[in-house]
Amino acid sequence: MKSLFLGQLMLAAVVVLTSSAAIAEKLEYKQCVALALAQNPELAISRAQIEQAEAAVRQAQGNKMPRVNLSLTATRSNDALNAFGMKLGQRGATFNDFGAGEFIGPILAGTPNAALPIAPHNLNQPDAVNNFNTRIELLVPVYNGGMVQSYVDTAKAYVRAAQSGDEVARQQLAKHVLMAYQGVHTARAYIKLAAEARVAAEEYVRISDKLHKQGMAVKSDVLSAKVNLEDVKVKGVEAKNAEAAALNQLALLMGKSLDDPLDVGAPVTPEMLAGSPAALRAQALNEHAGLRAMRNQVEGAGAQVGAARAGKKPQFNVMLRQDWNDENLGLDASSYTVAGVLSWSAFDGGINNANIDRAAAQRAELVAKLRQAEEGIGYQVTDARRKALEAEEKIVAREAGVEQALEAQRLVKKRYENSMATLIELLGAQAQLDKANAELVAARYELAVNRAELKRSVGVLAADSL
């Protein structure tokens, strides 16, 4: 019975461990980016903007096509003009509708002049007439001065701008994921340092207490060592909170619930982007998606100028219409109409010229913003490269600093144990070592982030080519 119970207990433990492992499956950086690109709300907004722009293209292109309108209109009226017109449309008008009987009577009586002042009752006071008009109308745009094509060109330019904007959002998201992902590893490095510092602090408490009992240290040394231990414990708590915050930030970027367990895989450090500052700036001008988006916006604004200018040109359209008019619902009294309409605004009070000037000014504004953005991107590239190189130098310096601080801490510790140094000196050496270790961890994080920022500034950041 006892062996059976132990077996069940072991089986339950295996199930729990297996379930925990499945729930806390580690996600590598590329997996995190893929999930973020698929589920992040910001990317959903970007995709919706692309779809809107593509729909605008289809809408503009539709204006080039003929338009077919179908209509059925039921009318009942005793208005003299409408009633007579509906009878004509039904091919049912008679002389009696003109009051022929009232006109012929005086003529037959030999008083023709008396017929002229008579107001025909049937014409002026008709009975109500019903009419069902069934119509098929075809409108064919023939020439519009290039206005429709300008609208199509504008919409296509905005599609390209939206697609480039989506690429900007993707690269920005990849950087944010990197920052959160590496933030987890950085926080864990701080947790490890805090644990090592705690071991050292506990050792200092033990040594100071031992020396105090031997009469080689004062009571204040023991109290100072204990205060230092409590400070180290607080740093450990802060590091664990930083890890949780980084994991939460990563979950939000991926569109995951904060309640879902999450872990990260191996740390990542982007490679340094090769090239001189001038070469990288030139590359950014060609490849940065944000600049491409602005150039497409300028192109779209130029097409808007063309659309405004088209308003000063003549327009020609053709209309083909087939009608059926019947007193009842039907297809009797067929008729057709063919029309060609040529229109040209000869004078509009300067409205078209104002539209052209406004569109040209909007394009000039975008051109100026583009030039400003190009200069800004150039500065960002130069600054990001400078910071990335600075981070590399920092790591070399911080590694040397850690080695020196470690040796200094070892020497001061020996001196303290031999009553040749004070506890303040020992705690100072330990604090210097902790500071050197923390600065090395921070420098490694800065290196990864600054290299990623350099690639993003140039416009080549991608999860699969870090």
Instruction: Give one DSSP letter per residue of 359-381, joined into a string.
Output: HHHHHHHHHHHHHHHHHHHHHHH
Q: Which of 92, 102, 91 is closest to 124 using CA atoms?
A: 102
For the chain, give the mean pLDDT. Answer: 86
Instruction: State the angle between helix axes of 289-310 and 351-417 in degrees (0 to 180), rounded to the nearest 10.
Output: 170
Looking at residue 402, its amino acid is V
**217 vs 16, residue with greater confidence:** 217
Alpha carbons 408 and 421: distance in angstroms, whole number: 12
Average of per-residue pLDDT across 323-348: 89
Q: How many CB atoms lie within 10 A of CB 419?
A: 11
Is pLDDT at 14 greater than 50 in this prediction?
no
pLDDT at 24: 56
pLDDT at 115: 65
pLDDT in tens, 66-106: 999 999 999 999 998 999 889 888 888 888 878 777 777 77
Exposure pattern of 31-61 as b/e (b: 16+ CB <10 Å)?
Answer: ebbbbbbeebeebeebeebbeebbebbeebe
Counting Cβ atoms within 10 Å, is residue 5 exposed (0-12), middle (13-18) or buried (19+)?
Answer: exposed
Q: Which of 44, 191, 73 is closest to 137 using CA atoms?
A: 73
pLDDT at 17: 41
Average of per-residue pLDDT across 245-274: 90
Average of per-residue pLDDT across 223-245: 90
Token pair of 413 as six digits: 């510790």
Phi, psi of 274 (to 5 degrees): -75, 155
Helix (H) / strand (E) element for 401: namely helix 351-417
Is pLDDT at 280 greater than 60 in this prediction?
yes
* Domain 24-65+146-465, classified CATH 1.20.1600.10, yes or no: yes
Phi, psi of 260 (to 5 degrees): -80, 130
Where is average pLDDT lowest: 180-184, 314-318, 385-389, 410-414? 410-414
pLDDT at 260: 85
pLDDT at 183: 93
Q: Which of 100, 150, 89, 107 is closest to 309 using CA atoms?
A: 150
Average of per-residue pLDDT across 199-206: 84
pLDDT at 429: 85
Average of per-residue pLDDT across 372-382: 94
Where is average pLDDT lowest: 6-10, 83-87, 129-133, 158-162? 6-10
**Percent of the chain as helix, strand, coil, to the nearest 5:** 70, 10, 20
Instruction: Give one DSSP letter per residue of 123-180, joined into a string.
Output: HHSPPPEEEEEEEEEEEEEEE-TTHHHHHHHHHHHHHHHHHHHHHHHHHHHHHHHHHH
Alpha carbons 8 and 236: distance in angstroms, whole number: 38
- Using 50, 70 and 90 to split pLDDT, how confident is the model at 445? very high
Alpha carbons 457 and 376: distance in angstroms, whole number: 10
Average of per-residue pLDDT across 178-191: 93
What percent of the chain has a predicted confidence (pLDDT) above 70?
A: 93
Q: Which of 314, 273, 287 is closest to 447 using CA atoms?
A: 273
Is pLDDT at 147 greater than 50 in this prediction?
yes
Phi-psi bin for 110: left (phi > 0), alpha (psi -120 to 50), beta? left
Q: Which sequence spans correspond to the domains of the chain?
A: 24-65+146-465, 73-143
Strand, coil or helix: what is 228?
helix
Pairing of strands 334-343, 315-326: antiparallel
For the chain, helix (H) and strand (E) counts, in that order, are 12, 6
pLDDT at 9: 41
Average of per-residue pLDDT across 322-329: 91
pLDDT at 454: 93
Q: Which of 281, 271, 279, 268 is closest to 392 using CA atoms?
A: 271
- Using 50, 70 and 90 to split pLDDT, how confident is the model at 25? low
CB-based contacts of 75: which residues, under 8 Å, 6+ apart? 82, 86, 130, 131, 132, 133
Pairing of strands 26-27, 263-264: parallel
Average of per-residue pLDDT across 421-441: 85
Average of per-residue pLDDT across 33-62: 86
Q: Which of 164, 337, 349, 177 is closest to 251 using CA atoms?
A: 177
- Using 50, 70 and 90 to split pLDDT, how confident is the model at 23? low
Which residues is 317 bridged to in the sheet? 141, 341
